[in-house]
Amino acid sequence: MFKTRLLVSALALVGSMSVAYAWESLPTEAPAPSDNPTTAEKVSLGQMLYHDPRLSSTGTVSCSSCHNTMLGGEDNRPNSMGVNGQTGGRSAPTVWNSAFNKVQFWDGRAASLEEQAAGPVTNPIEMGMKSWDDVVARLKTIEGYQQAFEKAFGKDSISKETATKAIAAYERTLITPNSPYDNYVAGDKAALTAQQVRGMEKIGELGCTACHSGPAFNGPGMFQKFPVIPNAYFEAQYHFKKDKGLAEVSKNPADENLWKVPTLRNIALTAPYFHNGSVKTLDQAVMIMGQAQLGKELAKEEIADIVAFLNALTGEFPKQAMPALPGTPGKSFN
Amino acid sequence: MFKTRLLVSALALVGSMSVAYAWESLPTEAPAPSDNPTTAEKVSLGQMLYHDPRLSSTGTVSCSSCHNTMLGGEDNRPNSMGVNGQTGGRSAPTVWNSAFNKVQFWDGRAASLEEQAAGPVTNPIEMGMKSWDDVVARLKTIEGYQQAFEKAFGKDSISKETATKAIAAYERTLITPNSPYDNYVAGDKAALTAQQVRGMEKIGELGCTACHSGPAFNGPGMFQKFPVIPNAYFEAQYHFKKDKGLAEVSKNPADENLWKVPTLRNIALTAPYFHNGSVKTLDQAVMIMGQAQLGKELAKEEIADIVAFLNALTGEFPKQAMPALPGTPGKSFN
């Protein structure tokens, strides 16, 4: 997604960018912040917490309910369904490779995975817990968690800080390397079809990679405006501008309709598309990006080539063991 | 749970039963019906279907949402939450060892796991699909399912029958052997504490095992009345008789308040208790069973001994790989 200024410079650079663009493959490990080094014990605890519906008021919604690790890291719904069937206005971003996002949430309001993990748990329409104090109190009643936190963080360590650190540590392992694209970049020229190579060249030529750059196709900038180019037809149909994005948080009119640049990794698996999940198919999303961001009406063949390439960004999902969540023998959790 | 007639005979037999009762350990394999022999391909497909929220109208509720294989095989809620936050009147029975139930559902209205699996998917307050035709149509749009069904059942085999057969085949693998009780029965006399042995002897003496008999403590009869002995205090508090059980299905007054005898396996992990999930703790449930079924006010120490024994029925949960659910590249599932 482009700010107008970026759009202009990107378009001006089209010729040279398509040649010079350095295609990068996905790292197999994500860097951890110095105050939360990744350990096996934290990852194991984080995986349990991530999949535990008892982190919600009703005991029915876990992180994985909306960011499903058995699927493309989200729920394939326009918006997610939280406790008591409530829905919000935004589409769940994928958890896969979220370690490579520079900021978290669609509006980028969290600077880290740790900070992000704290949010949905106490959001009244998501997991609906009244407070993190309540979450901590509930976790403390579960002996298996007392033990798992002790292994990860030391004795009597259950807290909002440690719980979110564990979840973030787990999320840093949710990386999907070895996509056909990565294999191609690593030298296996047979990994992409001719059509996929055309699509790859096309997104370089068009300048899509000015925003969707880097190994996760989500950099270098944190925020971009979407849509850049006013389009009454799209607006009537998809209501893209209704949600003000970053401005909803900052209350700064300059931030209106600014969004975190979302990763293109596994994008084929994360329909429906855009911040409000209003667009059902990937080819429609590519068509819209062409018009709304580049001011270009892409040809049907161009769209097909780009979609073929985007399908080559579906990576290898790491095999995970199903976590066994610790019980509360003889009583229910609340 | 006792019919009055059984109650009387059980009480009469107390002395001899406690000696003669043959304690059985849990089989590590469940028998499969001749028209649905268990195969690895079916189990793998069934595990995917079981955990796939796209088998619900909203894409938010899978079998595992209410019968959670990461927990005690259910949701630790009084009643479960289906699509759009709807709730029913009954508490989800555990899926663990459900292969050893003679009938399925609390009211026993399904004769097999295959038959049971078909129910919740199209129940409007559970998974909310309009029809199995809709489920089949949706599954057919998912290429990975086409392949998985082909492996399990042959080409172009997606149907209600094959889907429910696969789910049942998976459920037949959800067995939790090697509980402390099983190890004790197998000869390891140190596997139970002295208190647990007292509790075990007590449930034999009291005659609990007349209904909760066999390896899964859920036989030999299919149905028993609960409560047997009228108790206005319990009724005011827990409303046990409001739900007519089997009679809700059969419309036969003779079936009023008849229920499938539930397994005691892993019962410590399946609070809250009874068909309507109205009783929060296991010691309270044991106290109520004493009064409502046996007409006995159990001493505090007796209850504690029995609860200690019931905790020894928590088995070993098989390690499972997390299924990777097949996607619908470039589009959402509905």
- Each residue's pLDDT tens digit, B209-226: 999 999 999 988 889 999
Q: Which of B114, B126, B171, B302 is catalytic?
A: B126
pTM: 0.94
What are the chain A neighbours of B84 within 8 Å (beta carbons)?
81, 85
Which of A75, A77, A332 faces B272 most closely, judged by CB atoms? Answer: A332
Burial of B268: CB neighbours in 10 Å, binned 0-12, 13-18, 19+: buried
In a domain, B327, yes or no: no
- Give the residue from B171, B187, B218 where a domain finishes: B171
Average pLDDT over residues B229-236: 96
Of how many residues is chain B composed? 334
Q: Which amino acid is at B73?
A: G
Q: How near does any CA of chain A get to the CA of B75, in Å?
A: 7
Backbone angles phi, psi at A215, to 5 degrees: -60, -30
Pick the closest to residue B255 from B239, B237, B243, B273 (CA basis): B243
Radius of gyration of chain B (CA): 21
Domain count, chain B: 2
Residue carrying the six token digits 């589009």 = B331
CB spacing of A322 vs B327 below 8 angstroms: no
CB spacing of B322 vs A325 below 8 angstroms: no
Torsion sign, CA atoms B165, A318, A172, A185: negative
- DSSP string for residues in A275-328: TTT-B-BHHHHHHHHHHHHH-----HHHHHHHHHHHHTT--PPPP-BPP-----
What are the chain B neighbours of A283 within 8 Å (beta carbons)?
330
CB spacing of A71 vs B327 below 8 angstroms: yes
CATH number for position B92: 1.10.760.10
Q: Are residues A223 and A164 in the same domain?
A: no
Q: What pLDDT, in 10s, does the model give residues A195-242?
A: 999 999 999 999 999 999 999 999 888 899 999 999 999 999 999 999
Q: Tokens standing for A132?
A: 């993190």
Task: Compute the distance between CA of residue B208 and CA of residue A231 in angstroms, rounded to an integer.
Answer: 72
Q: Are residues B284 and B263 in the same domain?
A: yes
CB spacing of A77 vs B54 below 8 angstroms: no
- A vs B, Cβ pairs < 8 A, gives 129
Q: For residue A316, what is the nearest residue in chain B, using CA coordinates?
A: B324
Q: Are residues A166 and A181 in the same domain?
A: no
Pick the closest to residue B186 from B210, B213, B206, B215 (CA basis): B215
What are the chain B neighbours of A47 within 8 Å (beta carbons)?
none
What are the chain B neighbours of A314 within 8 Å (beta carbons)?
327, 329
Which of B71, B307, B328 faces A325 most closely, judged by CB atoms? Answer: B71
In a domain, B138, yes or no: yes
Task: Compute the distance between CA of residue A190 and CA of residue A183 in angstroms, rounded to an integer.
Answer: 9
DSSP state, residue A190:
T
Q: For residue B269, what is the nearest residue in chain A, using CA coordinates?
A: A329
Q: List B residues 52-111 in contact with A (Cβ-Cβ < 8 A).
A: 52-54, 58-60, 65, 68-72, 75-78, 81, 83-86
Q: Are residues B300 and B286 in the same domain?
A: yes
Best of B50, B64, B76 to substitute, by most chain A Cβ atoms within 10 angstroms, is B76
Q: Which of A24, A41, A114, A126 is catalytic?
A: A126
CB spacing of B325 vs A70 below 8 angstroms: yes
Q: For residue A312, what is the nearest residue in chain B, using CA coordinates?
A: B329
| Alpha-carbon distances, residue A253 vs A13, A47, A244, A286 (angstroms) | 29, 39, 9, 28
CB spacing of B71 vs A327 below 8 angstroms: yes
Average pLDDT over residues A284-288: 98
In a domain, B205, yes or no: yes
Q: What pLDDT, in 10s, does the model give residues A155-188?
A: 999 999 999 999 999 999 999 999 999 999 999 9
Mean model confidence pLDDT for chain B: 94
Q: What pLDDT, in 10s, does the model give residues B56-85?
A: 999 999 999 999 999 999 999 999 999 999
Q: Are residues A99 and A139 in the same domain?
A: yes
What are the chain B neighbours of A284 within 8 Å (beta carbons)?
none
Q: Are residues A99 and A223 in the same domain?
A: no
Q: Are residues A192 and A138 in the same domain?
A: no
Picking from A17-26, A191-200, B272-281, which range would have the lowest pLDDT averaged per residue? Answer: A17-26
In a domain, A318, yes or no: no
DSSP state, residue A46:
H
Best of B47, B57, B71 to substitute, by most chain A Cβ atoms within 10 angstroms, is B71
Q: What percent of chain B has pLDDT over 70?
A: 94
Q: How near does any CA of chain B get to the CA of A158, in Å?
A: 20
Q: Are residues B53 and B147 in the same domain?
A: yes
What are the chain B neighbours of A85 within 8 Å (beta carbons)?
83-86
Q: What pLDDT, in 10s, does the model give residues A251-284?
A: 999 999 999 999 999 999 999 999 999 999 999 9
Q: How near does any CA of chain B get to the CA of A285, in Å?
A: 9
What are the chain A neighbours of B83 within 8 Å (beta carbons)?
85
Q: List B residues 162-181 in contact with A (Cβ-Cβ < 8 A).
A: none
Q: What pLDDT, in 10s, does the model give residues B265-276?
A: 999 999 999 999
Which of A269, A280, A329 faces B329 most closely, judged by CB atoms? Answer: A269
Q: Are residues B97 and B131 in the same domain?
A: yes
Q: For residue B322, what is the nearest residue in chain A, using CA coordinates?
A: A322
Q: How near does any CA of chain B get to the CA of A61, in Å?
A: 9
Average pLDDT over residues A71-76: 98
The reported pLDDT for the residue numbered B9 is 40
B126 catalytic residue (yes or no): yes
In a domain, B271, yes or no: yes
The reported pLDDT for the residue numbered B2 is 35
- Give the residue from A171, A191, A207 where a domain finishes: A171
Torsion sign, CA atoms A65, A68, A73, A78: negative
Q: What pLDDT, in 10s, does the model give residues B310-326?
A: 999 999 999 999 999 99
In a domain, B141, yes or no: yes
**Confidence check: pLDDT of A190 > 50:** yes
| Alpha-carbon distances, residue B90 vs A45, A334, B77 (angstroms) | 32, 18, 10
Q: What pLDDT, in 10s, does the model give residues B118-131?
A: 999 999 999 999 99
User: Chain A within 8 Å of B246 (Cβ-Cβ)?
Assistant: no
In a domain, A331, yes or no: no
Q: List B residues 177-216 in contact with A (Cβ-Cβ < 8 A).
A: none
Which of B65, B322, B332 faces A272 most closely, judged by CB atoms? Answer: B332
Q: How near does any CA of chain B get to the CA of A152, in Å?
A: 20
**Confidence check: pLDDT of B10 > 90:** no
Best of A84, A95, A332, A334 to substitute, by most chain B Cβ atoms within 10 angstroms, is A332
Give the pLDDT band of residue A36 (cuts 50, 70, 90): very high
What is the domain range of residue A123? 40-171
Q: Could you tell me the end-to-end alpha-carbon distance of chain B, in angstroms, rounded to an integer?
A: 45
Q: Are residues A256 and A197 in the same domain?
A: yes
Backbone angles phi, psi at B85, to 5 degrees: 75, 15
User: Chain A within 8 Å of B224 (Cβ-Cβ)?
Assistant: no
Q: Does ipTM top 0.90?
A: yes
**Confidence check: pLDDT of A53 > 60:** yes
Task: Compute the distance between CA of residue A249 and CA of residue A234 in angstroms, rounded to an integer.
Answer: 24
What are the chain B neighbours of A75 within 8 Å (beta carbons)?
53, 59-60
CB spacing of B321 vs A324 below 8 angstroms: no
Q: Tokens standing for A294?
A: 């580049």
- Give the residue from B143, B171, B199 where a domain finishes: B171
Q: List B residues 257-286 in contact with A (Cβ-Cβ < 8 A).
A: 268-269, 271-272, 280-283
Average pLDDT over residues A292-304: 97
In a domain, B296, yes or no: yes
What are the chain A neighbours of B320 within 8 Å (beta carbons)?
321-322
Q: Are residues A20 and A54 in the same domain?
A: no
| Alpha-carbon distances, residue B44 vs A62, A263, A275, B132, B151 (angstroms) | 24, 31, 34, 21, 10
- Report the relative pairing of strands B258-260 and B223-225 from DSSP bridges: antiparallel
Q: Are residues A144 and A217 in the same domain?
A: no
**Confidence check: pLDDT of B21 > 60:** yes
